[in-house]
Structure 1
Amino acid sequence: MDEQELLKRSDGPVTRGRLVRDLKALGLAEGDVVMFHTEMSALGYVAGGPSTIIGALGDVVGASGTLMVTCGWNDAPPYDFVHWPQEWQDALRAEHPAYDPELSEADHNNGRLPEALRRWPGAVRSRHPDASFAALGAAAGELMADHPWDGPHGPGSPLARLVERGGRVLLLGAPLDSMTLLHHAEALAEAPGKRFVEYEQPIMVDGRRVWRRFHDIDSEDGAFDYSSVVPEGVWPFEVIAQDMLAAGIGVRGTVGAARSFLFDAGAVVRFGVDWMERKLGGGAAD
């Protein structure tokens, strides 16, 4: 979408000051620990791009607040490389670079903001290669420390610590199905048929590049089979989030030109776990 179209959509440039006003009106406040997801084109023409958005968020939460994003690793080896011809596997194992929290790019599918924030001076990125997060602000080190190698969306993860810190989730024009925090609910929910993945990726251990095997919920195709309770072609998180809003959890408003939402992280996880266990646990679906 070109700049003229973006300008029309947002009724003029979306500046840092305008973002600050809109974010405060939505309910974001000083001292907040907030994980955010952004679809920049939905905001309109943002004067200055990602740095303007990060700057505005920082202005609102202040020095005592913290910003957090999901990163992943854009150039991680594919899970299925273990099924490649042996010669290909050997070449990959011999030379694929290890994950580096400072150098490895965030997954491009997550948009421009995660890469911009993880490169920001003072930002801290977690150690997990496939499920890495990054944070900037007063609680960044605490949120990112000792990210569990296995179960990286479960207890002890940055997502769990976001909840423990009384954090919030902000969707800036991003669709409801982008709410990564619901993977934490999947990790905690006790319902039949939970799906897991195992994969290998290279990391640095004591200065040496080593291949490590990881175990996690299936966060790509879904930790559960939702087909009995979610319409075909709809991502389950969209349905769960809509049900949350209908239950009075979360607030909605406009930031720039974008429909945006602000949720309490603890409420998201409690609702998500209850929804999954109730809908998928063998009881009557409603």
Structure 2
Amino acid sequence: MTPPPSPAAPPTPAAPPGALALAVQLRLLGVRPRTRLLVHASLGGTGLRADALRDALTGLLGPHGTLLVPAFTPENSTTSSAHLARIAGLTEDEVRALRDRMPAFDPERTPSQGMGAFAEAVRTAPGAARSGHPQTSFAALGKDAERLCEGHRLESHLGEESPLGKMCWEGGQVLLINVGFSVCTAFHLAEYRIPKPPLRMYECVVKVNLPGAQLREGWTAYEDVALDDSDFAEIGRTFPESRVRRGRVGGVSAMLFSLADAVDHALDWMTENRR
């Protein structure tokens, strides 16, 4: 009697690609050495390792390139949608207590919020620089990291005096990995270039210098452009395909394009379509 066949062994999951394999794929996409590169990446469920992607990019960009990521902290606020979601359902006393114990933003220690594992892998890497904005900071590695991150004014979340604005003037590029244009921070810079952009008040908790070089935590309010990403997906949908390089990195979709091209297109679109 012939014995029944043994059940097939389950397939062995493929190992996630390492930094060298990712660097090859990034090079095929169009990433080149010496580039200043702003990256948005969503790695959840992809099997990609944040440190491998970071090392692939820094290795490919080389000693004269710069890697930049958003390291935002939107919950450090009384006005952001992230903060409003956090306090939904709380009583006035509970909101007041939460506000009283909210820690001030610390560029060296405060983790980013909602930016993903890749942004944190860059922020926490040895030698990383971080800008000082308490809500929309950036982290960077490479030749121009310190210079891009310095002087990030409170009243310029994502304007000309932010790392984003500096990089735009210097010919930077944008790389989107496993995300779409709806999270393309570059489009926000166009909001600062609209004639008479709408303004609003913001509030966040920061470390305040006192006489005698002492520091305390305190709330500060300031006015800046009213940021709105609700139409970014549509702006991206109309971005000319001829200006975008598409490919795959680690098995997921990726897009590479000029930061200045993205800002110029968004400005044209907003000028025509926003009211």
Residue 77 of structure 1 deviates from its aligned partner by 4.0
Kindly indicate whether the alpha-carbon contact (under 8 Å) linking 2:76 and 2:135 is maintained by their aligned counterparts in 1. Answer: yes
Q: How many residues align?
A: 254
Q: In the alignment, what sits opposite 2:222?
A: 214
* Deviation readout 1:5-40 (Å, 9 max, x if unpaired): 9957xxx53221110000001110111110101121
Give the stretch that moved more between structures: 160-169 or 146-155: 146-155
Separation in structure 2 between the aligned mates of residue 97 and residue 165 of structure 1, nearest angstrom: 35
Does structure 1 residue 258 correspond to structure 2 residue 260?
Answer: no
Q: In the alignment, what sits opposite 2:35?
A: 32
Distance 1:202 1:245, change over 3 A: same
State the AA in 2 paired with 1:99: F
Q: In the alignment, what sits opposite 1:71?
A: 71
- The structure with more helix, counted as a fraction of residues: 1
Separation in structure 2 between the aligned mates of residue 255 and residue 182 of structure 1, nearest angstrom: 23
Residue 217 of structure 1 deviates from its aligned partner by 2.9
Q: In the alignment, what sits opposite 2:157?
A: 152
* Deviation readout 1:53-111 (Å, 9 max, x if unpaired): 10000011011111111111165244257xx866456545544211101111101x221
Does structure 1 residue 15 correspond to structure 2 residue 21?
Answer: no
State the AA in 1 paired with 2:203: E
**Matching residue within 186, 190, 194 for 2:195:** 190
Kindly indicate whether the alpha-carbon contact (under 8 Å) linking 1:163 and 1:265 is maintained by their aligned counterparts in 2. Answer: yes
Q: In the alignment, what sits opposite 2:47?
A: 45
Extract structure 1 runs of 4+ deviating beyond 6 A.
Answer: none
Separation in structure 2 between the aligned mates of residue 13 and residue 55 of structure 1, nearest angstrom: 14
**The structure with more radius of gyration:** 2
Residue 197 of structure 1 deviates from its aligned partner by 3.4
C-alpha RMSD over aligned residues: 2.6
* Deviation readout 1:149-195 (Å, 9 max, x if unpaired): 1131112111101112211100112222111110111221237xx54
Separation in structure 1 between the aligned mates of residue 57 and residue 161 of structure 2, nearest angstrom: 26
Kindly indicate whether the alpha-carbon contact (under 8 Å) linking 2:77 and 2:202 is maintained by their aligned counterparts in 1. Answer: no
Does structure 1 residue 244 correspond to structure 2 residue 239?
Answer: yes
Q: In the alignment, what sits opposite 1:229?
A: none
If the length of structure 2 is used for normalisation, what is the TM-score? 0.83
Kindly indicate whether the alpha-carbon contact (under 8 Å) linking 2:152 and 2:161 is maintained by their aligned counterparts in 1. Answer: yes
Separation in structure 1 between the aligned mates of residue 222 and residue 123 of structure 2, nearest angstrom: 23
Separation in structure 1 between the aligned mates of residue 149 and residue 180 of structure 2, nearest angstrom: 25
Separation in structure 2 between the aligned mates of residue 5 and residue 41 of structure 1, nearest angstrom: 22
State the AA in 2 paired with 1:76: N
If the length of structure 1 is used for normalisation, what is the TM-score? 0.80
Q: In the alignment, what sits opposite 2:127?
A: 122
* Deviation readout 1:221-279 (Å, 9 max, x if unpaired): x27xxxxxxxxxxx521221222133x21211111211111011111111111111122
